[in-house]
Amino acid sequence: MSIYREYDIRGIFEKELNEQSVVRIGYALASKIEGEYVAVGYDARSHSPILFEYLVHGLNAGGKKVLDMGLVPTPVNYFTNYQDWNGITPSASVMITGSHNPSEYNGFKITINKAPFFGEDIYALGRECEAMDFPLKVARDVTKIDALTRYVDFLVSEFQHLKGMPSRIVYDCGNGVAGVVTERIFGALELNTKGLFVDPDGTFPNHHPDPSDEHNLEDIKKLLATDGDIAFAYDGDADRIAVLTHKNNIKGDMMALLYAMKMDKPTVVGEVKCSQVMYDELERRGAKAIMYKTGHSNLKVKMQEVNADLACEVSGHVFFKNRYFGYDDAIYATLRMLELIHDGIDLDAELAKLPQVFSTEEIKVHTTESEKFKIINRVKELLQTPPNSFPKIKNIIDVDGVRINFEHGWGLVRASNTTPVLVTRFESTSQEEAKLYEKAINDLILEAKNSL
């Protein structure tokens, strides 16, 4: 059951994701899908095509026909749900990907009726698979579709106005699957680009494909320093982006502020880790800012619910409903960022206008799966009567863990939905107070752990 996570299914190839488990997943999933067709794509990992065949076995045995899009980024997989394929519109899609996990991992991101399949639905699917007999094999029913070309043509058409822009653009695909579209799109738009580690290689020989980790940005920073005006980096399946200038590593919340500049009073959904600067600045501009739970599935559902134009996670998931379909797409986000530059916006100058705050990176506190949510609940109890030495609390937001607003900043502690850790983050107008908030909340976490 450990492979069934909050937002997707993820595990180690052969050990956890093998013929027995994956065929069952396909068969059980087929019963959740009303229509006849499921579109399936996969990332660059060497075992992804093997898992594709296992999944096809299960889906076919469950009465579903498969549209095979082959090797594609996750956003292409999402895009397929909005397209007609010779009179066929898929009722669901499955992306076979381990995202930014090490090369031995793989998994499945599932979309049904254009909405994420996640949370209790995934856990229930897991329980069903555990109790299931192995499905019989039936005749293979797979039709190939060229989703990649359809996606490339769409983006090239949408961004024709960028054709030939002079900015020197450098980017790092990390040997993930982004490279199968970047070359084609940038080439068609005649952009001045230079790419690193563009060829997909599921062993990730150059660095880990996770641009939220500064260590993985060393190569692209060197290239930016000598050959670039703007830099981009992508995770393994190209649904997360890093944007770098000569002065800034622009996190997802600050990207959202920049993107929103070209929207008329947008509704923007952020997560609990986003800077207060983002929420305050959006409201100051007349936009509507909504704080919600972390997780790409959560944000997609919330966007739909409130009809938002944009959503973001600090980690680099950026979701556009404005002029797009409402899912996280790092390639599309790249072109929207280039559009800002094309329109004369100086990214660094805009960021320099914002109030200066001191924010920590995500700090992880290791615990256990069985204890992490208990600790959060105990922290909530302790906050009802905090110690006298605790910083003055303005209010508490408990939409996802606990975000405590203080007089000059905030602190967050939440349980990760995918790993046995608590995630903390702190922000203040002064570095000293950010450290003070960090110490106060860490002391509270320790007291909560010791009282279990």
Q: C-alpha angle 142/147/148, rounded to 5°?
A: 130
CA atoms 202, 203, 207, 208: torsion sign? positive
Tokens 């899009």, residue located? 69
**SS3 label, residue 380:** helix
Give the integer Cα–Cα distance in Å for 158 and 239: 19
Q: Are 257 and 226 in contact (CB under 8 A)?
A: no
**Other beta carbons within 10 Å of 265:** 11
Give the tokens for residue 409. Answer: 């900043």
Q: How far is CA 113 from CA 23, 37, 93, 239, 403, in A?
A: 22, 11, 9, 19, 33
CA quadruple 160, 166, 171, 176: dihedral positive or negative?
Answer: positive
Instruction: Report the distance separating Cα 78 and Cα 402, nearest Å.
Output: 32
19 CB-near residues (< 8 Å, 6+ apart): 54
Q: Among 441, 265, 247, which residue's Cα sits nearest to residue 349?
A: 247
End-to-end alpha-carbon separation of the chain, Å?
A: 25
The Cα 97–Cα 449 span in angstroms is 35
Known catalytic membership, residue 451: no
* The pair of three-digit structure tokens given for residue 247, joined into one six-digit string: 């002065």
Residue 109, classed as helix, strand or coil, is strand
Residue with tokens 């790409």: 296
Q: How far apart are CA 221 and CA 360, in angstroms?
A: 21
Name residue, tokens 């260590």.
215
Q: How far is 70 from 91, CA to CA, in rounded Å?
A: 18
48, 91, 93, 99: which one is catalytic? 99
Catalytic residue numbers read 99
